[in-house]
Chain A
Amino acid sequence: MKILSCILLLVFSAALMSRAQVPEATQAFDRATRLLNQGAYSEAVLAYDEASRDGLESAALYYNRAIAHYRLEQIGESVLYLRRAESLDPDDLKIRHSLSIVSSRIEDHFSELPAPIWTRLQRLLVSLIPVNLLLISGIVLYLVLVALLVVYIKRIAENDWLRRARYVCGIAAGFFLFAGFTTSFWPPFPDESVVLVDELVLYERPDEQASVSERIHEGLVVTTITKAGDWIFIQLPNGAQGWTTSDGLGAI
């Protein structure tokens, strides 16, 4: 009981601390937005950076920062923050519209590989229930099942409802835990990055003397496969792969 109390206290304290930083972030956001509307785009970017310094984020923060970058002709950064905004609020029309406008400025156009059926199913599931919620739901149901099993083993009580509850909890816990762990270990949305420089050279090996396999340009969203030191192995939307240095990419 004492342990549970300590955990609840810690969670409550953390929530209170983050809430305490919200007014400061909001003030920074308001100041940055005023600068943005005045056309001081570089200053606005710095102010938005300040607003997100305490680990807080919001779709509006990312969106406005993307607009500032767009006005500065920084297409890569603009795509990066619009994609972040979209991840927080995927249904917002303004975000989607602006993303399509900015994407039309991207030089590279690759055909996209179709996702496998299981990946599409995972994406559908994750769009309905976030991965962490899947896991937590599975754990809670699992604990309920354990409690029901204790009742059953100790013969505290037994009837049809308890038996049905055990079955339902078992199946539900199994499903949520399976879905949660599979989507955690094999995420349907791989790590993505945006090209932030005018041109990024892809090499066949992590070596600048290696043959050049492709040249990609600012704003293109690529998938990160692995990293090796300063080198990063990425995949283009059409499935082509290559090594490049990580300093020209921004992780979404």
Chain B
Amino acid sequence: MYFQLTRSTYQKTNSSRWSVLTLSWVLGVSIFTLIGIPYTVTAQSVKISASINDSTIGTEEGLVYTISIEGAPGQDIQTPEAPAGEGLSLLQSIPNTRSNVSIINGAVTQGYSYSWTYRPTGAGIASLGSTTVRVANTVYKTNPISVTIVPQSQRPTRTQRRRDPFASLFSTLGPQNTEELPELTDRDIFIRAIPSKTSVVQNEQVTIEYQLFYRAGIQLRQSRLTDSWDAEGFWREELEVETRPIPEIVVENGLRYNKITLKRAAVFPTRAGDLSIDSLRIESEALIPTSSQDPFQRMFSTRSRFQPVKLGSASIHIETAPFPEGAPASFSGAVGSYSFSSKIDRTELEVGESIKLTVTVSGSGNLATMDTPRFNPPAAFELYEPQVELNLNRRGTRLTGSKSFSYVLVARTNGNFELPSIEFSAYDPRSGNYKIMRSDPITVSITGSATTPMSVTATTNGLPVDDVAAPFSDAGEWSNKKGAPLHTAAWPYTVLLLPLLFLSGLFLYQRHEDKLAGDISYARNRRAHPLAKKNLKKAVALLEAGDTIAFFAELERAVMGFIGNRLNVSERGLTRQQLDESLRRASVSDDIRSRLSDLLNVCDQGRFAPVGFGRLELEAASEDAATIIVALSSILGGKR
């Protein structure tokens, strides 16, 4: 059976404490009456609660009134009487009795409950009077409970309970099996975000606790966070919560809930203003108890009755005020409740040795972002960057811890020196004041290599200990300010590239020269065209001079020399047949060979019987020679 229990207020009426408890009872009733929040009274380990299944019921619904007693043996409990009802009629005089045993953290707790069912007599405000519960020799008294009775038509439609347990079993085969799953409402399951404060000073700690409330009987599984929880404008530190929490039974707004703490975080606003913290969102699957009386259906429909649920807390707004005025000079933003201590590992040392001065700030606040306290030791010491050690205690409802700053100082000069006090200040929101804490000055004696103790005002080099050295009286060596870096100028690259090109050219030229000197064929081939050109030019000059014999001799020399160079044969003593054969082997066409033969014949005629040659014939012969050289050049290859 599904009970939605509402707890009312109880008051212990132990006779020995009557006056005090009466006052508490009066106060409890007053609070309950004014703000409607019930409270629980426990006597020693006995805890008693009473509740009703709903604070609002329909005129045709039943009201179940339950008294639960935990922590007391059964034989000590006297069965209580049902409270008298106004506007409600009791349907049973003998209560339904149930007992249960729970084990929490290894402790066994036995509980008993007594339930009565009432029926409303009409719409309106009904009430149940107080009743007494006797456990051993102690008497507890309940407070009256009010119930709102509304017409049944104003209540949500519910599936009629099946009176026949077998009907539902058989009906699962048919389409009429339409058992409606109860809908989860915000009243059944919700997340509550509880900030420790909503109005703070910048950097003051605020603890946010997210609590999941769900009605008794609801089971949850596969719960997970859906979004990344964000708190922009805050420094965040997670606090520990139980990874396997045991639900705590609480009463909220007159209804009984299981409560689990999902998350706890300490946040520190890093700036002033109205800052908001995102809601915490989870997804889960909830098993809602069915009202069916059919044991088979209850057994087999468990899987289908898990419903996905999405929950989210309300976002939180934190009003952040800036740091109050009047901050001391050493204040660097620390806000919280802090203590400050310092210690030094020794006060006597030698030059070159080191000492360690450790200051520790402990307390509750944002230790992670706390700045290093300023420390200016005398110049006789070389100060190293402090080692910082942070210890945070994330247990509990506030972030506490300590932060240590260890300054290592190396003595550079002998003498007696006083380490100045280190000042730390923080704003304490509880007192509303800045708190300044200082370490005590410490005198350190340095002995060592210096044979005579140095004055505290000068180092071994004669330089002042606590001040800058005197200015230079001489300007020293002047130099020009650095111009553009060398690699940004163009000339280095030019200087590197030009010799490279020069070397490449020189190498190729030298190789060419070597080849000319060592390879006759190459050399003749290379020289063939320039030489032919030179001879032709000379022949033209002879033509202009009117020396026909010399013209033809030069023309023949040009052609034959070109062929000899290109074929790398000696043109002297070469017969016409040998020449023709050589050209034929070199794939020179018949036409060119024929033209060459004609030209050579003309040259012979011109040299030995130069009669009948006019200027036109001479020019034609010169042109023929040039044409044949060009044609041979393309066939025999080589450089022109």
Contact = CB atoms under 8 A, between A and B. Distances in A.
Contact of B386 (A94, A98, A105, A109): A109
Interface stretch (A25-33, A223-231, A239-247): A25-33
B377 to A, nearest CB: 8
A139 interface: yes
Interface in A37-89: 37, 51-52, 55-61, 63-64, 67, 70, 88-89
B417 to A, nearest CB: 14
Interface in B413-438: none
Interface stretch (B185-193, B213-221, B254-262, B495-503): B495-503
A79 B472 CA distance: 17
B157 interface: no
Interface residues of B, number: 40
A13 interface: no
Interface stretch (A114-122, A163-171, A179-187): A179-187
Contacts of A153: 503, 506-507, 510
B376 interface: yes
A2 interface: no
A55 B480 contact: yes
B379 A104 contact: yes
A98 B37 CA distance: 71
Interface residues of A, number: 55
Interface string B446-488: 0000000000000101010011111111111111110001110
B175 interface: no
B374 interface: yes
B463 A131 contact: no
Nearest to B508: A153
Contacts, number: 119
A142 B503 CA distance: 12
Contacts of A110: 385
B506 A101 contact: no
B131 interface: no
Interface string B357-378: 0000000000000001010100
B270 to A, nearest CB: 9
Interface string A3-30: 0000000000000001000100110011
A64 B471 contact: yes
Contacts of B471: 33, 36-37, 60, 63-64, 67
Closest 9 pairs between A and B when the two form their complex, measured CB to CB: A184-B487, A60-B472, A98-B468, A94-B469, A146-B499, A60-B476, A29-B475, A64-B471, A132-B486
Interface of B: 372, 374, 376, 379, 382-383, 385-386, 459, 461, 463, 466-481, 485-487, 492, 495-496, 499-500, 502-503, 506-507, 510
Interface of A: 18, 22, 25-26, 29-30, 33, 36-37, 51-52, 55-61, 63-64, 67, 70, 88-89, 93-94, 97-98, 100-102, 104-105, 107, 109-112, 131-132, 135-136, 139, 142-143, 146, 149-150, 153-154, 177, 180-181, 184-185
11 contacts: A22-B478, A25-B478, A26-B475, A29-B475, A51-B475, A56-B480, A58-B478, A97-B461, A101-B379, A109-B386, A139-B496
